[in-house]
């Protein structure tokens, strides 16, 4: 019988964590093959004691208060460390509301032959999405040197922490890569991609996201994501590495420069990585991004942004090129 391990990291969000816990307890009632662990980065407030008491009141739930505020990425990574090799891991954010019947649905789709379960949405790449979102699943075989990684990380929902299930029998030996790529802000994808690259192929099963959970309700700072994501481009096949670097820069080079102030060391290392992968083209788009950043940082730049947003033709052009920063998107 498959086992499901639901790992919920949290920090100073008692109301969200308590609501998530209430929903999950009703979903796992009568199921002995599910365990829940809430891992809290301490905030020093009285909320921690209240959350701990709620968890201790139910034997199905474990609670851990970390020794300090490790940050969101490290707290998520601890979920991979806590998971056993005979469990399927679900990293679940405290602000992602689980839908009724989702746990039963997940169990109906678990299979020991499947390594990874990606939650599908209609906006995903046509090769990596379900034909409909009505409850069917679809099995695929990913081949690392054929599919590349741009589709996997940029054109699927799997980049979101809560949008995947990991069979730890397949992934347990690759957890160290998550810590090695902590500053990418996508350590979970580093684990996924390192396993795919090492094994050359991976059996996956697509499941409709809209049956399992809704949207995230909380806000977050994604500046580290912008500063660090290209660090995981090292997992791309040789034929794709330059392509994915340039495509990323065309869209995010200005946002990349905005991340420099908050993450200077990550910014510096990522910039060198992109120069190495993308060559002259990468340097060109870095220059474009820096120019756009400098314009946006002035009062004149704010007026330019307002003008572009109000001009339908220009706004459409910027959206088509993907350079939506000038639109404030």
Number of other residues whose CB lies within 10 A of the CB of residue 131 = 11
Name the CATH superfamily housing domain 3-216. Answer: Spore Coat Polysaccharide Biosynthesis Protein SpsA; Chain A (3.90.550.10)
Number of other residues whose CB lies within 10 A of the CB of residue 214 = 12
Q: What does the pLDDT read at residue 249?
A: 93
Residue 116 has φ and ψ, to the nearest 5°, of -145, 140
pTM: 0.89
Q: What does the pLDDT read at residue 327?
A: 46
**What's the Cα-to-Cα distance from 39 to each of 17, 28, 76, 187, 289, rounded to whole Å?**
10, 19, 9, 17, 38
Domain segments of the chain as ranges: 3-216, 223-297
Tens of pLDDT along the chain (329 residues)? 789 999 988 877 777 777 888 888 888 887 888 999 988 887 666 667 777 777 777 777 888 777 767 777 888 899 999 999 999 999 998 888 888 999 999 999 999 999 999 999 999 999 999 999 899 999 999 999 999 999 999 899 988 889 999 999 999 999 999 999 988 889 999 999 999 999 999 999 999 999 998 876 555 667 888 899 999 999 999 999 999 999 999 888 988 998 998 899 999 999 999 999 999 999 999 999 998 888 888 888 778 778 877 888 877 776 666 555 544 54
Altogether, the residues listed in the chain come to a count of 329
Render 266-296 in DSSP notation, one character per residue. HHHHHHHHHHHHHHHHHHHHHHHHHHHHHHH
Q: What does the pLDDT read at residue 54?
A: 75
SS3 at position 143: strand
Q: What does the pLDDT read at residue 122?
A: 94
Which structure tokens are listed for 79? 């979920």
Q: What does the pLDDT read at residue 329?
A: 47
């Amino acid at each position: 019988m498959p086992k499901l391990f639901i790992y919920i990291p949290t920090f100073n969000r008692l109301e969200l964590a308590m609501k998530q816990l209430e929903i999950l307890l009703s979903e796992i009632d009568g199921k002995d093959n599910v365990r829940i662990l809430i891992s809290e980065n301490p905030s020093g407030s009285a909320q921690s004691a209240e959350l701990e008491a709620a968890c201790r009141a139910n034997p199905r739930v474990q609670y851990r208060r970390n020794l300090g505020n490790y940050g969101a990425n490290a707290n998520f990574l601890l979920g991979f460390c806590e998971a056993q090799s005979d469990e399927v891991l679900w990293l679940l954010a405290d602000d992602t509301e689980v839908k009724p019947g989702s746990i039963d649905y997940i169990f109906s789709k678990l299979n020991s032959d499947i390594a990874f379960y990606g939650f599908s949405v209609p906006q995903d790449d046509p090769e990596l999405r379900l034909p409909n979102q009505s409850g069917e699943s679809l099995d695929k075989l990913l081949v690392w040197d054929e599919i590349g990684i741009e589709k996997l990380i940029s054109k699927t929902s799997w980049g979101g922490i809560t949008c995947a299930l990991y069979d730890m029998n397949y992934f347990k030996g690759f957890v160290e890569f998550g810590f090695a790529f902590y500053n990418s802000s996508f350590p979970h994808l580093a684990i996924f991609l390192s396993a795919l690259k090492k094994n050359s192929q991976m059996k996956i099963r697509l499941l409709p996201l809209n049956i399992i959970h809704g949207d995230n309700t909380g806000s977050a700072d994604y500046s580290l994501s912008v500063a660090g994501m290209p660090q995981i481009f090292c997992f791309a096949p040789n034929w794709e590495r330059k392509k994915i670097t340039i495509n990323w820069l065309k869209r995010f080079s200005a946002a990349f420069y905005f991340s420099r102030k908050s993450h200077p060391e990550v910014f510096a290392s990522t910039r060198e990585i992109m120069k190495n992968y993308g060559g002259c083209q990468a340097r060109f788009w870095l220059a474009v991004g820096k120019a756009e950043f400098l314009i946006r940082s002035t009062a004149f730049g704010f007026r330019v942004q307002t003008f572009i947003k109000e001009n339908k033709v220009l706004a459409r052009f910027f959206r088509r090129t993907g350079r939506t920063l000038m639109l404030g998107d």
